[in-house]
Structure 1
C-alpha cells in the first residue's frame, strides 16, 4: 500500500505535487492546531477539575477531623463521668440486684451521650471483671476488649482508631458498618486502670459528609485504607472491596493531587488526599470525557473554519504552482538537450528566486561536466600511456637480453640448479607483471614481483647485491598499483648501488599507520645531491617508449589512482644512500575503474 502511494505520488507532475503537498500540509497544520487547541483546553479544564476536587477532598478531610475530635471528646466525657468513675472503681459484688443497678446507671450515663449525638452509633465500656456496659438498644454484644487490654498493658494511657468493620453488636435488628475508637481509662482518684471504652461511629454518617459533593454526573468520592480496601463509600455494596488491582492504587497511596488513568476502557481523572490520622486516603474519580464535554463545542466550530481555510488554500496553491512550474518546464526542455549530448546549451531565466538559482547552477554543472569529461578522457589516456610505459620498461630487450645472457653463462658453467632457479624467478616475475591484465593488485603480490626481480639481479650480480624485507604482515591485505616498487628498486640499483664499491644493500620496509600504508625503499648507494634529486623529480621524458619509467612518473601514477594526497617522498644524502618513502591509502578493495 505504501509503495503504491509513493509510486502514485512520484508519477504526478510538479504542479500536481505542489498542489497536493500544500493541501496536505495545510490540512495537517489545521488538524494539528485543532488537536493542539483541544488538548490545551482539555488540560486547562482537567487542571481546574483537579484543583476543585482537591478543595472538596480537603473539606472532607477537615470534616473527618472534626468528627473524630468530637468523638474523642465524647469518649472523654463518658470516662470522666462521676457515676462511671464511681461504679467501676467499686469492688465487684455478688449481689445480682446491685450488679444490675450498676449496669443500668452506667448504661444511662452512656445513653445520654449517644442519644444526643447523631453520629455516635454506640458506646460500650469493658471493665477488668468481664462486665460490659452499653449505651442501650444493643444486642448480641461480643467482647473484643481482650486484645486492647493486652495492647495497652504497661501503658498509663492508650487510644486507637480501628478501620471500618462490621459492628460487634446488633442494633435495630442488624449489624452496622462502624469506625470504632478504643481507649483505656483510669481512675481519676488514684490512677488505677478501670477499663476500656469503645465509641463507634456509623460509616453512613461519614459517607454523608461527601455524598452530596458534586464532582460530575458519573464522578464519585470514596475512602480507602492502607491495604487498598474501601473504608467508606456512598454505595454500600462497594464497602470492603479491594482496589489493589486498579492502575491508580499504588499512585494514590503515595501521592497527593491528580493524575489520569485508564480503566474499564475509559480515561478517568483520579485525585487523592491523604488522611494520616486513620491511614486513610480520600479518593475522587471522574471520567475525563465528562470534564471535557464542553470543549467539544469549541472543537466543532474550529473544524468548520478549517474547511473554509482548506478551500481557500487550494485556490491559492494552484496559482502559486503554475508560477513555479513554468520556468521548470524550460529547465526540463534544456535537460533533454543535454541528454542528447549537447553540452553547449545555456539557460537564461530572469527570475532571481530558487528556480533562477537552479538555472544558474545547472549552467555551471553543464560547463563543469564538459570540463570533467574532457579531463576524464585525458586522464584515461594518460593512465593507459603510463601502464604501457610500465609494461615496456619491464619487457624491454635490455633486461631480457641480460637475463638470457646470464642463463647462457650459467649453462657454460654447468650450473643447472642456478639456471632452473633463474628461469623460475623470471617466470614468476613475468607472471606477476601480467596479473591477468589488472592494474590493481595486493601488496603481497607486489612484494612477490619485487622479490623475484631482486632474486634475478642477485644471481646476475652475485655478492655485489643483498636485500632485506622488513614488512608488517598487516599490509599484505591492502592493494596497490601493479609494478609500483620494481621501478624504484631498479633506480636504486642502477643509479645508486651500481657505482658503489663493494656490496650494495637494499632494505624494503612496510607498515600501517593512521589509515595509511607506508613503504620505504632504502639503499646505501652513492646518494644524490639536491640538484640531482630536483632534476629527477621535475624532468620526465614524454616518449614512454624510448625512456625508462622514472620517479616523477611513478609519483603521478600513484596520484592518478589514489588521489593527490598520496605519493612519494625522497630523502638522499651523497655518499650515504637514498630513501624513497611511499604513502598509499589502506584500502582492501579497489578496482581499476575506481
Structure 2
C-alpha cells in the first residue's frame, strides 16, 4: 500500500489534497470478491500522542462508475462530447476511453488542460471545434466540452456550463466531507494531547476519553499508564520510607548495645569503688534515656522530651569521660511543646563528643540551643573542638560520599530522616572552622506536638 502513487504523493506534498487517475482499488474487496474501479482523494494527516507525532494518509475513494454515469447521460449536439482531464493532461474520463487506451483515437488533452476556463476555438481534424473548459476546484481537474462549430447554439453552451457547475458542486461536497471526517478524527486526539499536557504541568488528574472507539481506547491506555506510574511512585516512596526505618533500627541496634555495654561497665566500676551515689545517678539517667528512646513507637516527640533524652545522654558521657567537657542546654519555654523527630539531637551530640571532646583536656564545651524563626524550628549543637576543613564539610552530607563507620553515619542518617518527614527544604546545616569548633544545626518545621499525629 505504501508504494502506491496516491500514498507517496500525499506524503511528498503534505499541504495539498491529491486526486488520482482512475485505478483499481485493491485493498477492500466487495461481497462478490471483486475490486472497484475508483478515483481517490488522499491527503496527509498527523496524529499526535504525547510528545510523539505519527504521520499517515487519509484516503477517500469515489467509484469511477459514478463519474462515468454523470457524463454518459449528458450529450451535446452534432457529435459533441465531454471528457475529464487532469492538470497534466491525463485523461480521467472519455466516452471513447477504450479507443484511446488502445491508441485508435487521439485526443489533444494536454493542450486542453493548459487552457484557461472559458470558451476556445481550436482546430480538430478537418473542421474547427469549440472547447468549453471549466476547472474542478481543488482537484486540478478540468471538464472539457468538445462541440463542433456546426450547430453550436447558446443553449448548448448554457447546458454545458450548468453541467460543469453541478460537477464542481459535487467535488466541493467531497472536500467538505473530507474536512468533517478529518475534524472528527483529529479533535478528540487534540483534546487527549491537551489533557496529557495539563497532567504534565500538574493541572489535571484525569485523561480525556472520547471520540471514536480507537481514540477512546488510546485514552484509556494512557490513563492506565498514568495510574500505573502513580502507583509505582507511591511504591517507591513507601519502599524508601521502609528502608529509612530499617536503617534507623539498624543504627540504633548498632549503637545502643555498645553504649549500654560501656555504661554498665562504668556502673560496675563505681559500685566496686564504693561510689553508690554516682552509680545511682548513671542508672537513673540510663533508665530515662531508654524510656524516651522507646516512646511507645512514636516517630515524633515534644522538644522537651528530646532535650531530656539528650541531657541524660550527656550526663552519662560526662561521667564516662571524667569531666573532659561541660555542657549547657538552652531552650525558650515556648519551644518545649513543639514537635520534633525522635532521636535527632543525640546523634549530633555523639559526633561532637567522639570527634571533638575526645581530644580535649578538661576544656571542652558543648552547647545545645533551640530557637524559632518564622515557621521554622532550629536546634543547634556547638562545640569548641578541632573543627573540620571546608572540603569535608561540603562532602559530608553528599548522598554518594563514602562515610566510614563511626565518623558521620548518625549525622547523615539524621539529615535523611528530617528530609524524609519534612521535605527537601529541611535537614542538617554544618558550619565548622579548623581549631575553632563546629556548629551543626537541625532545621525542622515549627509545628505543635500532638499525640494523635505523633505516629
Higher relative contact order (Cα pairs below 8 Å, separated by 6+ residues): 1
The structure with the largest helix share of the pair is: 1
TM value normalised by structure 2: 0.49
TM-score by length of 1: 0.38
